Structures are given as structure tokens and as C-alpha cells.
Structure 1
């Protein structure tokens, strides 16, 4: 980082004449379609497996590689936003996403489709930190809740409608239309941003630490890849593919943390964790994300394999909750601005604990309406927790930590997603096996469905434990006050930083 004299400050760019709404619209349009694409392809896996004649574990790489690239790229984004302007970062992200979408649409074989997904992931990985960092720069702390709520609408609503929209398209069209229909909107986002998006961040061009980037790639890539492989390989943790990558990632992560704390120019400044509300928010968001993934992964499995629903029908069951979550996010954002985080996060976590307990009581005979109601209730809880907790944590950071704070939160959410999927799928599988071992008639197909239900109950119980931990943490949250509001000058990096 540069010296104190040149450290980014709030006066470096005049934000008084910048119109915020067009910039917010640009971010929302671009983010919606890039995030939508994360879940849009999942229901098409069966069709893709048949067309390209590859194993299901191979097809899974279309999702695993996406998560892997995003997790690897986001830590470096804290450095990139200091090297490139807002326009350059956003337009670069959307152009990459558009190119990747085109490659996917015309892919003649699986390898081309995988390359296209990786290019898309590069766009998404650049998009998320830029979006959140821009909101932090544009809006003062007392107005960030509403702005972050609008972003929350996109982040929660887009992946929720992905499976349903995908199922609807696949009912009458080829899987390639999943990309052809997204491409015009991605191009529109590029044109709209080119016209309306303005630069709002300072370009300081700090020194690039190649070793930190290498350690970050090995750390987050190894951990995400290892945990993502847990559900795809035999023997689970005893498989070398799992423990070797997780061990390598863990060692690299320890070295990466040491490097960031001792380097004069860290790419991901971990001193952001000195802000207690940011630390609380980060841990809470990780726990809640793991509970969320338990539901998003387990409910479709239960409905399709246990209750005999089609993928499209299962997507429709989850659609009302996703829509509700999206539309509530702006509302809870405004309530956060008015009442602070405790009024939302504490009751939200209490509702989450109740819902996770009720999920442990569902059976193969549970009415579909009950599942819809439980999922909608969970969506209400999520809208009360996620964006208020994140916004409150980021509000305590000073401006030079904005890129680092957003990168830390986005990276750990990706890692939490991988951990959540691995833990809950392994718990479900273990519970299913235990039930079958004690079954008097393991060859009976009905017993298989009951075994699956038992395994999912075990996984939901784990999710409930995570929700209880989140509830306990919520009582320690207080409203963040930025250093400027406390009357102190905004701290700058020292000359040696």
C-alpha cells in the first residue's frame, strides 16, 4: 500500500455530483444474471450427461469448477479494485461473463462447456466484491441498509428462481437455450454500464505480492476442491483426493495468513478483523450460510428421491420462499437503517432455529404445502439475518478496508458453501447407511426412501445446531458506528504499510 499521504480517503473522488441510482441499477442487472447462472444449469445435468456421454461425477464439475474459480479469485479482488477503476472492473467482469455464456451456448463437446463455465465464473468472481465495495463507497452508513437490501434481493432471488426457470425452459427447449436466453441480458448490462456507470473508487496501484496470490490460490482452491470432492469419491475422508487437497489448502492458508499479517502490502488485509462487529458478522454469516445450504441441498433430494417429485416440481416448491426472500431484503434493509441489527438478527436467528427443528420432523407423507410454508418461514429468517449482519459488520470498517472486508466475506461465504455441502451430504449418507444396516428388509424400495428420510433428519439436526450457535452470537451484536461518526479522524495506513 502507498504511504499515508496517498492513502485513499473519502475526499479523493467527489461523490457529490454522482447519481447513485443508475450505478445501483447497473450493479443489480449485472449481478442478477451472473448469480442466476450459478443455479440455472443444475437441473440440466441429466440432459448434459446423456448428450456428452460422461459420468455424473464429471458433469458435477460444471458446478464445482464455478465455485472453485470464484473462491480463488475473490481474495485477489481486494487488490484488483485498487489497480482498476469501477468501470474497468465491472465492464471487464460482464464482458468475461458474456464471452463465457456464448462459449457455453455453442459448446460442441463437454470440455468446451467446462471452459465456458470457468470464464463465466471469472466474471462472477470479479462482480461480487466490486458490487459490495461500490455500495460501501457510495452510501453513508445510515443509508447502506436499504442499498444492501436491494443487492440482497438479487443475491437471494436470482439463485432461488434458477432451478424453476431452468425446468420451465427445458420443458420445451434444448439446454443451450439456458445460455442463449441469458446472453442478450448480459450484453445489455455491458451497454447500460458503459453509459451510466461512473468511477467511485480510488486507484492507488499497490505493489503486487505474487507469493500471496499463489498461497491464496492454493489455500482456498485446495480447501474448496477437497470438500467439494467429498461427496463424489468413495471412502470419504480416507480418500487421498480429499485429505491431500484439504491438508495442502490448510497449510497454504496458514502461510497466507502469516504473510498477510507481516507483509507491508497485503492483498487481503486481515487487520479488518480488529473490528469486533465485522468479526462477529463474518462468523455468523458463515454459520447461517451452512444452514442455508443444508436446506437448499437436502430438500430437493428428499422431494425427488423420497417423495417422487420431478425436478421441475421440486423447483416450484422452493420458488415462493426464494421470491419472498428477495422481496423482503430491501424491506429488512430499511428496517436495519431505522432500528439497527439487533431488532432483526436476534428474532431472525430464533425463527431459523425453530424452522430447522421443524425440518427434522418432516416425513415422506408431509404435505407439499407444509414444506412450502416452512421454506417461506426460513426465507423470512434469512432476510432478517444475512444483509443486516453483513452491513453492520462492514459499517465498522474504515474506507481503506472496504475492498478487504468485502473480499473476506465473499470468500468465506464460498468456502462455507463448500463446507456446508460436504458436511450435510456426508451426514445424510451416513444416516442413510445406518438405517439400512438396521433394516429388516433392505431390498425393499420403500425402505430406501425411509433410509433417505432418516439421513436427511440427521443432517437437519446438524443444521439446527449451527442455527443455535448463530442465535447465541446474535446477542453479542451491537449497532456499528464508523470511526468518523465517533468523531475521530479516519485512520490511515502507516507509512510502513
Structure 2
């Protein structure tokens, strides 16, 4: 038997010559689709779940907050797990865990069990995300990675985008449990494909695990994600000891974590990845783009439902065209990246993002749904041009031994960026609205209240414009660099 099927010896080099790339990619795509879909699937179902499970808004938000929190904590550890488990073992463990969580959620009679189901789902998702990117880096040579990452980008962008619309349809016509039941067959198909076709593509070295680093990482990333996540809730706010206590504890733990990673022999996240200037620049750009995308996905439905007074389902439909276009553009963007390189794709992409956010700063009660759709389409075109090329170019800088660490860093910081971006923009909006309302002669008068709300949304998008302008300036420093790493023909097949 060859190494593609056995790979049990420590440090054994996998044989990638006869590997079947297409079935592996299909298994990864289905697994990633159901994982990413669940990040936004409950969005429009929250009011129904609150009523059915008899819980408050603050409680129901934990179905999303806990999901992001678990992923944010788990992803940094995946770099070590990928050196202990074969990629086949890790994929099957991830998808079976996700399936178990989905079944628990679908059958849950109360909120507590539903929350447990979501946490178990998140454990699976946290393992799948970095594994997916790391496998792509290994089985595709650099000149074909753009297209492959673009295909993954279709899933990463499209799955969360259709979540709110899909949940709107389901809760309008069926029981909320179908949000989870419909995912079960897809998860089973992914597990079957993975069991048959998935082969190991990584070197299992089984390094010594530094448990102190895991504790520091958990408190660090968990504290920051949790702090920012709950800060956006109106009844909590930034002045709450829970918020700044979590952020301070998280920041100190994260600093100690980074220091320790630079000293230990087998770091959980190898900080040497940041020695590559283009990798570091791409991390910063990805962070800002993710902040803009996540926050817009939260702000727009709120604006549509509170200012333009459309239903949750209709707001999902309004946002759907741009999200679908963004998903289908991802593979095209990947091929353009392979052909023209990073700078000529990423810089115009970020410029389009800035233009779209600038247009959003002018929205008010007279803005038509057609204009909203156009602005959103423009934004998502920019995101699709910037997102996956940024990650691909950043990871292309690294040597093969740093791939698991690079993918874990990108995956972790994308979750952190989502939590930070959402809370910053929501806080900016709600604080501005409260400030405006406090100056009103009659806060209960809808005619006075509406301008106060609109000003809040415009203020949030103005903050986004500042971040976008910063990203545009930084993108001008992008350059094509030669890869300082081992020849790819020694590790990856070229002919598939």
C-alpha cells in the first residue's frame, strides 16, 4: 500500500502522484458549503425561535455568538491538529462532528439543547475551514491555485449569502427545525465522498503539544471575539465591565500567546509567517475587507426593515442578487488572478468597495430598493475581486511547512474581523441614533425619529469609508513576489 492510503508513520511523506483531485475538491466544497451556510442560516429565523422557545433577544443571539466564538477559539489549534491527524482523519472527524451537532439542533426540544447543537456544529466548522485551504495549497501548484481558491470562494461567499433568504422561506412555510433537517443529507453526502476519495496530503509529525499556548490562545481569541460580539447589544454597550474585561483579558492573553509562540520549539501558530511582508500586508487587507463585508450584511437588513419597512423575507431577497453574483464571480476572479497576478485584481476591487461604501453613506428614506440592490452589487463585485486573491497571494508567500499556520491565521482573523466589524458598525449606528434621539422634542414621533435613525446608518457607513480608504492606500503597496520555498513538483501534482 502506498502513502496515500496508509500514512501512519511519523513524518512520512504522502505520495500525491496518483491522487484524485476532483473528488477531494467536491467533498471539501460540500463540507464547506454546509458549514458556512450555518453561519447566517438562523438570521431571519430569530423572531420565530424567540417565540417558539420562549427566550429573549439577548439569549437568542447566543446561537450566533457562540458559533463564532467556538470557531474563533478552535481555528488556531487546527495548525497543530493537522500535524497530528491525517487530512482524511481530520475531514471525517470534522464532518461527523458537524452532522452530530446538526442532528442535536434539529431534534432539540428547548433552547439549551439547540445551543449545544450549534456549539457542536461550530466545532466541526472550525476544523473544516483551515483544512480546506491547506489542502488546496498542497494539491494545486501555485499557477493553478487562484482558480481553485476562486472555486472555494464561491462556496465561502455564496453559502452565507443565501442563508438569510433561505431561512426566510423556511420559517414562512415550514417549521424552523427544517433549517437543520435539510442540512443533514448534504453533510452525509460530504462524509461519504470524503470516506471514499479523501486521501492524506500532509506530513504527520505529531509534535509535542504546548497546552499553555492552547489556554492562552483560547482566552485571547475567545475574549476578544466575545467582548466585541456582546458590545453591539444595546443593553450591554462598551461601558459594561463584561465587555472591557473580556477585551483586556483577551488582549493580554493574546500578547502572551504571541510571545510564547516565538519562544517554544513547536508553536501552535508559527509567527514566522509574518516575516513575509506580503503575507502580513494581505492579512491586514483581508481583515478590513471582512469587516466591511460582515458589517454591511448586518447593517443593510436592519436599514431595510427599520427605515424602508420591508419584511425580513423581502430584505433577504433584496440582498440576494449581489450575493449570488459575488459567489459566481469568485472562480472568474481566481482565473484572473492566475493570469494577471494580485495587484491588477486587488487594487481595483478595493477601489470598488470604497465607491460602494461612499454611495451607502447617502442612503435615506427616499432611496429605492433598486438603488440598494445596485450599491450592494457594486460592493460585492469589489469584495469578490479583493477577497480570495488577497488570501491566495498571502498564502503563496509561505513555505510549505507554514501552510497550516498561514491558513489557520487567515481563518482565525477572518472570524475576529467579522465579530469586530459587526460590533463596531452596529455600535456606531446605535450610539449615533441614541445621541440624536436624546435631542428630539418628541422621541415617540415617527417623523422625528426617522431622520435620527437614518443619520445613525449614514454615520456607520462613514466609519466604513474610513477603513475602506485605509485599505485602498495599503493595497498600492502590493507587489508580485518570487516564492521562497521548495519546488512544488516535489510536493504537489501538476497534471490534474
Aligned residue in 2 for 1:494: none
Q: Please name the residue that 2:103 is paired with.
A: 102
Contact 1:291/1:464, CA 8 A, preserved across alignment: no
The Cα shift of 1:235 comes to: 5.8
Post-superposition CA distance 1:456-493 (Å, at most 9, x none) = 10000010111111101111111232224899x99xxx
Q: CA offset at residue 446 of structure 1?
A: 2.9
Structure 2 CA distance, aligned partners of 1:250 and 1:412? 14
CA distance in 2, matches of 1:226, 1:37: 22
How far did 1:449 drift? Answer: 2.6
Contact residue 400 and residue 485 of structure 2 kept, 8 A: no
Ranges in structure 2 where 5+ consecutive residues have no aligned partner: 1-8, 492-496
Residue aligning to 1:227? 228
Q: Does 1:92 align with 2:93?
A: yes
Distance in structure 2 (CA, Å) of the matches to 1:370 and 1:188: 40
Q: Deviations over 1:210-264 (max 9, x none)?
A: 0000000000011111111102264622211111111111110111011001111
State the match for 2:43 in structure 1: 42
Aligned partners of 1:237 and 1:165: how far apart in 2? 33
Deviation at 1:305, TM superposition (A): 1.1
In structure 2, the CA distance between the partners of 1:256 and 1:485, relative to structure 1 (3 Å rule), is closer
What SS class does the counterpart of residue 439 from structure 1 fall into? coil
Counterpart of 2:78 in structure 1 is: 77
| Conservation of the 8 A alpha-carbon contact between 1:153 and 1:330 | yes
Q: After superposition, what is the alpha-carbon deviation per residue over 1:54-95, rounded to whole angstroms, capped at 9, x for unaligned?
A: 111000000000000000000000000000011111111100
2:190 alignment counterpart: 189
The answer as to whether partners of 2:147 and 2:338 remain within 8 angstroms in 1 is: yes
Q: In structure 1, what is the equivalent of residue 355 of structure 2?
A: 354
Deviation at 1:169, TM superposition (A): 1.2
After TM superposition, give the deviation of residue 108 of structure 1 in Å: 0.8
1:291 corresponding residue in structure 2: 292
Query: Contact 1:74/1:129 (CA < 8 Å) preserved in 2?
Result: yes
Q: What is the distance in 1 between the residues matched to 2:358 and 2:251?
A: 33
What's 1:277 paired with? 278
Question: Residue 259 of structure 2 aligns with which residue?
Answer: 258
Q: Which moved more, 1:413-422 or 1:115-124?
A: 413-422
CA contact (8 A) 1:157 1:322 kept: yes
Query: What is residue 340 of structure 1 aligned with on the other side?
Result: 341
Partner Cα distance (2:403, 2:193) in 1: 25
Aligned to 1:495: none
Shift of 1:447: 2.5
The separation in 1 between residues aligned to 2:17 and 2:304, in whole angstroms, is 52
**Hey, what's the Cα distance between the residues in 2 that align with 1:44 and 1:216?**
32
**Residues in 2 aligned to 1:15 and 1:368: alpha-carbon distance in whole angstroms:** 51
CA-based RMSD of the aligned residues comes to 1.7
Q: CA deviation at 1:413?
A: 0.8
Shift of 1:293: 1.9
SS in 2 for 1:481: coil
CA contact (8 A) 2:42 2:167 kept: yes
User: SS of 1:188's equivalent?
Assistant: helix
Q: Which residue of 2 aligns with 1:124?
A: 125
Aligned to 1:178: 179
Deviations 1:94-137 (A, max 9, x none): 00110000000010111000000000000000000000000011
CA distance in 1, matches of 2:125, 2:485: 32
CA distance in 2, matches of 1:480, 1:78: 25
The 1-side partners of 2:380 and 2:308 are apart by: 22
Residue by residue over 1:378-422, the C-alpha shift from the partner in whole angstroms, topping out at 9 and shown as x without a partner, is: 111001100001100100100000000000111111111111111
1:36 alignment partner, SS class:
helix
Within 5 Å, which residues of 2 pair with 1:30-429? 30-232=31-233, 234=235, 236-429=237-430
Q: Residue 267 of structure 2: SS of its match in structure 1?
A: coil
Q: Show the counterpart of 2:26.
A: 25
Q: Which runs of 5+ in 1 are unaligned?
A: 1-5, 491-497
Cα 1:7–1:374 shift into 2, 3 Å:
farther
Aligned length: 482
Q: The residue matched to 1:236 in structure 2 has which SS?
A: coil
Question: 1:364: Cα distance to partner?
Answer: 1.3
Partner-residue secondary structure (3-state), 2:238: helix
Q: Distance in 2 between matches of 1:248 and 1:485?
A: 40
Which sits farther off after the overlay, 291-300 or 130-139? 291-300
Q: 1:473-488 residue pairs with structure 2 within 5 A?
A: 473-484=474-485
User: Contact conserved, 2:396 with 2:483, CA < 8 A, in 1?
Assistant: yes
Q: Distance in 1 between matches of 2:288 and 2:463?
A: 11
1:70–1:122 CA contact under 8 A, matched in 2: yes
Matched residues in 2 for 1:261 and 1:203: separation?
22
TM-score (norm 1): 0.95
Q: Is the 8 A contact 2:210 2:266 kept in 1?
A: yes
DSSP-derived class of the 1:91 partner: helix
- 1: CA distance, partners of 2:68 / 2:383: 21
CA distance in 2, matches of 1:138, 1:244: 43
- Normalised by the length of structure 2, the TM-score is 0.95
What is residue 433 of structure 2 aligned with on the other side? 432
Q: CA deviation at 1:365?
A: 1.5
Separation of aligned partners in 2, 1:100 and 1:44: 18
Q: 1:399 to 1:50 in 2, by over 3 A?
A: same
Kept in 2: contact 1:355–1:378 (CA 8 A) = yes
**1:392 and 1:480 in contact (8 A); partners too:** no
- 1:448: how far off? 2.3
- 1:7, CA displacement in angstroms? 10
